[in-house]
Amino acid sequence: MFSFRNNFLFFAVFLFVFSANLFAQTPTPTPPDDKPINVYTEEIKLNIAAFDLEGNFANALKKEDVVISEDGRLHQANIIQHIPAKVLILLDTGGESRVAKDFKTTKNTAKSLIDALQKDDQVALMQYNDKVEIISEWTSDKALLNDILDKRMSFGTRSRFTDALRLATNFLNKVDTENRHLVLITDGLDSVSSQEEKMAAIKTLTSENINVHVFSYTGLEQQVVAERRKSIRGGGKTAINLPPGADNPSVVKGVPIATINTDRAMVKKNEERGESLKRSEKDLIQLSDDTNGIFYLPDSPEEMIEKTGHLAKNIDSQYVVTYTPKRPLNESPNDEVRTIEVTSKRDGVIIQAKRKILVMKNSQL
C-alpha cells in the first residue's frame, strides 16, 4: 500500500490573478472572489519487478512498455527507472518459545540474503526481543554486516513485534530513495502489544510505498504445536499377555495405550499458541500481498535459507514507476483503498506488480 499525505508527492502551482487599470488615476479594487488558486499535480510512486521469459532481470524497460491499472482505469507511466535498493532486515530474536524460531537459522537467513543482493544495494539491520534496536545503519559492506550479525545479535524472552514495525516504518521513511524493502524474519507474534495495536502498526506500514517480504516461522512453529498436542494427550505401551514361553526376552512387546494429561493449563496454552500462529500467519500474508512483497512459508530451516536467493533476485529486478492518478487523491475520503496492477506491453517481459494504496491524509507514525 501507499499513502497520500498533504506533504507527499505534491507540487503546488500558485496562480495569482491581478486586475489593474493602467490609465486610471486610482487602482481598480480586486474583486472579493479573486483569491489565489491552488493547482495540485499528484504523482504516485510504486515498485515493479520485471523479468524476461527465463526469469532474468528485464533491463532497459521504458515507460511505454508498461500499463498501469488503478481500480480498472488505465494510466500511462510518467517515469520508470532502475535504482539500487535499500533493504532493512528485521530479525525476530525474542519470545518465550524458540523451538522452531531458531537463533542460528535467523542469522544465517539474513547472511544468505545479504550475500545474494547486488553490491550497490544498501542494507540495514534491526532486531527485536525485550527491546527494539538498530544494530547496523545503511551500508553496502557485506563483510561488516556479517560481522555485526555475529557480534550484536542477542536473545530476549519477549517479542515486541508491533514496536519493531513502528520503528522500521519510521526508519525507512527517512531514506532518500523510493526503492525500499523491509524483510521480516519472524513468526509475527507479539507478547507486549494488543492485536488492535498490532493491526494499527500494520496499517501504517502498508500505507507507505515500502515492499514488505516475509520469511515466516509460523509453519515450523505450528509443527511444534502439533507435536506437543500429541505429547500432552499421552501415549505409551502396555504389555501383551502372551502364552507361557511365547515371550522373546530380547524383544519388548506391547500395544499402544492412550492417556490423558491432567495439566489443563498446559493444554490451553498450547492451543492458544496454535491459534495465535494461525492468526499471525494470516496477517503476514496480507501484509506482503498488499505491499507487492513475497511471503515464504518454509517447511525446514534449510528451505528458509535457500529461498533468500529468490528474494534477492526479485529485489534486484525492480523498477520505480510513477504515474498521475486520473481521480485526484486529494478529493478522496480518508482511508480509501485503491488497487493498482501493472502489466507489460513488451513481448517477452513479465511484470510482477500488484499493490494497494491507502489514502491517509493525516496519519501519525
The domain locations on the chain are 1-83+318-365, 86-240+253-315
In this structure, the number of other CB atoms found within 10 A of the CB of residue 221 comes to 24
C-alpha cell at 350: 513479465
Question: What fold, for 1-83+318-365?
Answer: Immunoglobulin-like (2.60.40)
Predicted pLDDT at 177? 87
Q: How far apart are CA 65 and CA 346, in angstroms?
A: 5
Question: Three-state DSSP class for 81?
Answer: strand
Question: What fold, for 86-240+253-315?
Answer: Rossmann fold (3.40.50)
CA 39 vs. chain centroid, Å, equals: 35
Predicted pLDDT at 15? 28
* Closest of 176, 38, 158 to residue 98, by C-alpha: 158
Is the pTM higher than 0.85? The answer reads: no
Across the chain, the runs of DSSP E, i.e. the strands, are 3-4, 10-15, 37-42, 44-52, 66-70, 73-75, 77-81, 86-92, 122-128, 132-139, 180-186, 211-216, 236-238, 255-257, 295-296, 318-323, 337-344, 349-352, 354-359
Beta bridge partners of 351: 50
Predicted pLDDT at 276? 94
Which uninterrupted H or E stretch holds 27? none
Predicted pLDDT at 262? 52
Beta bridge partners of 12: 40
Q: Sort residue 348 into left (φ over 0), alpha (ψ -120 to 50) or beta.
A: left
The ranges of the chain with pLDDT < 70 are 1-41, 98, 232-262, 361-365
Predicted pLDDT at 23? 30
Predicted pLDDT at 179? 94
